[in-house]
Amino acid sequence: MNTEERVRLHLQAKAGRLDAPDRLEEVMREGRLRRIRRQTATVLGAAALVAAVVGLAANLIPDTQGTVAVSPDTSTADPAPTTSTSIPGAAPTGVLVADAGGITSLARDGSPGIAIAGDPTYPIATVYPDQMGGIIYQHVTTPLPWEQGTLLWLQAGADSPEPLAVPEPGGRLTPVGPALSTGFVYLLDEPTETAPATVIMIVDLADGVHEEIAPLAPTEEVSAGGDLLAIVDRTDVMCPQLRLIDVHGAPRQSPLPDCLPVGAGISVSPDGSRLALLAEGTLTEYHLVTGETGRQIGVPDAYMVTSGAGGWAVRSPEEVRLIGPDWEESLPAVESGWVVPFARLELGADPALESGSDQLPCVPTELDLPDQDLPAPVAETRRALFDLASACDYEGLAELVAVDGTTISYGAPDDPFAFWVGEARRGTEPLSVLTRLLAMSPGLHADGWYGWPAVHVDPGSEANWEELDEAGIDDGVVESPEGRAYYGYRVGIAADGTWMFFVAGD
């Protein structure tokens, strides 16, 4: 019996628990359509996502297919003079929006513009105009064959992107935004023996040269524009500190108060001449050359400000306020995602983000599933899960989740497929863990369900602790004076064969 037949029999055995007699076929049909939806998902009706991407990257590696290699410039030569190379001022014509469905734009009057479809399995986290008619963006979950966290560049006139910066496997980059006239600033981590050390980097889009600007502390965040970087240190949450440096790391004088308001957000204008401070529902402009305070614009409940093309985009639950040189427009609210002003886009005739991919993260297993003394329904579900996970059949597992109402995360993700792919791309490899757990000894809970590993049910099972060690599963093992406890990935199957959970955490 092959895997597909085994899964169908397993689903049929559970059909009696479904609310409607045709639900089984509906679930199976939904699974068959998932691959199609992954390739043809449109921006319209895209699910929301949280666009704040945290976590910084390791050293970058050369790419054998033309990717720019990054070697931070650590020379001790004197920095170039800090003369301004600010980009010419330009009023924003609208905003770019990045979310689970791809990248769209809203014009100044709120009308829709471009719509570049992505794939909800690989949502877009952030997007920036590159100042030359193209865009630079990053996925939350980066599709293969790119490394997780790759920065991608869709240039003016192009229909498909190319890597701009590629992290080492397991690393992630954090984009900051445009600088100078053809520069782009991002952050990367340089791993050390104790903790990652973050550095600010800049790449010249004209010649592809990447250079190091300055280190960044874990409590600091940065905004870029022109030849200026604004860095907020939140070590003291009640008194955030602001410092300014130029793109060569040299300090600049700041006209702002020593203590910023608690929770204040900042954003540097693209020409580096002004800084926006967003606090308590008010955006205040500061002229960095003269030190004068400029406009103060109220946006109730605003929580995010970005800059681009001579203006600001301010987010609130009710609207996106687009603020130009001497005007304001209220655009429709964006529930989630990333929003940034832009002046012009000159993409190809049929631009694509290339977010859809048939390549899925997969770690082959060479394990055999040993026989265990289990009730027949439990043994059947265990075998079905093992076969599906061994084959990296994300869709088949997702179908079982839909039938059984399986808990796969305390965050209750809508799409098990996207959740597991994202976990795998970030190094967890949940399907590989699932096969290794099911090959171990189970524990029988007092309520009658079976759990793998046994130590999740009975922490005193020393033999099972040894199995975990041999399988290389150490995530979620907690040592305390009372003994060891396990909060890593575990599997639960009810006595009637219902797949109860495959979850990690406490």
CA distance 338 to 22: 40
What's residue 289's pLDDT?
A: 85
pLDDT-wise least confident of 206-215, 309-318, 405-414 = 405-414
DSSP 419-466: HHHHHHHTT--HHHHHHHHHTS--EE-TTS-EEESHHHH-TT-HHHHH
pLDDT-wise least confident of 26-35, 102-111, 309-318 = 26-35
What's residue 454's pLDDT?
A: 92
* Across 6-28, average pLDDT: 44
CA distance 259 to 257: 5
Residue 348 has pLDDT above 70, yes or no: yes
Q: In terms of residues, how long is the chain?
A: 506
- Is-above-0.75 flag for pTM? yes
What's residue 4's pLDDT?
A: 52
- Residue 89: closest CA among 270, 223, 224: 270
* Across 364-368, average pLDDT: 86
pLDDT-wise least confident of 67-76, 289-298, 332-341, 466-475 = 67-76
pLDDT-wise least confident of 42-46, 236-240, 420-424, 444-448 = 42-46
Residue 89 has pLDDT above 70, yes or no: no
Greatest mean pLDDT range, 7-11, 324-328, 392-396, 454-458: 392-396
What's residue 57's pLDDT?
A: 32
- What separation in angstroms does the CA of 155 have from each of 116, 133, 152, 452? 14, 7, 10, 49
Residue 146 has pLDDT above 60, yes or no: yes
CA angle 211, 216, 220 (to 5 degrees): 140
Reported as a single tens digit per residue, the pLDDT across 204-221 is 999 999 999 999 999 999
Q: Which long-range contacts (CB under 8 A, 24 or more apart) does 294-303 make?
A: 297/321, 297/323, 297/328, 302/278, 303/265
CA angle 282, 310, 68 (to 5 degrees): 115
Residue 16 has pLDDT above 50, yes or no: no
First to last CA, the chain: 38
Reported as a single tens digit per residue, the pLDDT across 122-136 is 999 999 999 999 999
Residue 300 has pLDDT above 50, yes or no: yes
Q: What is the mean pLDDT of the chain?
A: 83
pLDDT tier, 59 (very low <50, low <70, confident <90, very high otherwise): very low
Residue 372 has pLDDT above 70, yes or no: yes
Q: Is 237 or 172 the better-scoring residue by pLDDT?
A: 237
CA distance 322 to 315: 9
Tokens of 351: 């631009």
Q: What domains lie within the chain, and their CATH numbers?
A: 3-40+360-503 (no CATH), 94-342 (2.120.10.30)
Q: Is 160 or 45 the better-scoring residue by pLDDT?
A: 160
Residue 53 has pLDDT above 90, yes or no: no
Reported as a single tens digit per residue, the pLDDT across 451-486 is 999 998 888 878 888 898 888 888 888 887 777 888
pLDDT tier, 152 (very low <50, low <70, confident <90, very high otherwise): very high
pLDDT tier, 193 (very low <50, low <70, confident <90, very high otherwise): low
Q: Where are the beta strands (DSSP E) in 269-390?
A: 274-279, 282-287, 293-298, 304-308, 311-315, 319-323, 328-332, 338-342
% of the chain surpassing 90 pLDDT? 64
Q: Cβ distance 369 to 386 under 8 Å? A: yes
Q: Cβ distance 394 to 360 under 8 Å? A: yes
Reported as a single tens digit per residue, the pLDDT across 257-267 is 889 999 999 99
Tokens of 339: 């929003």
Partners of 296 in the β-ladder: 284
